[in-house]
Amino acid sequence: MKIKDNGRKWMWWLLGAVVALQFFYVRELLAAFALFALGFAVIALAFGSLYMLHRTWVMAVERLAESKNPVMVTARQSMYAIEDLARRPFRRPGSATARS
């Protein structure tokens, strides 16, 4: 009877160790999943904040460009004048071509 009880005791210890290893493995998997989820959340938050910052900048520039402020009107007229200068040809029509 004593041998049978000793074997049963080791069987329960082995079963407990297997269950404990399974819980440890599951715990490790859950910890790894939590770390990956946290990493992806940080990356998504960074991209989302950069996107919102960009959209805010675009909206601010558009509102500033449509502004009737005298400084903005002068800047817009200067920009149009520079665009007109850029569209003009460098040489007059009929002038000699450059030699190579």
Q: How many residues does the chain have?
A: 100
**Helices 70-87 and 2-65, packing angle to 10 deg:** 80
> Would you call 55 exposed, middle or buried from its count of C-beta atoms within 10 A (0-12, 13-18, 19+)?
exposed
CA distance 27 to 21: 10
**Model's pTM, two decimal places?**
0.50
CA distance 78 to 37: 52
Taking only the tens of pLDDT, the chain with its 100 residues reads: 555 678 888 899 999 888 887 888 888 988 999 999 999 999 999 999 999 999 999 999 889 888 888 888 898 899 899 999 888 877 766 776 666 5
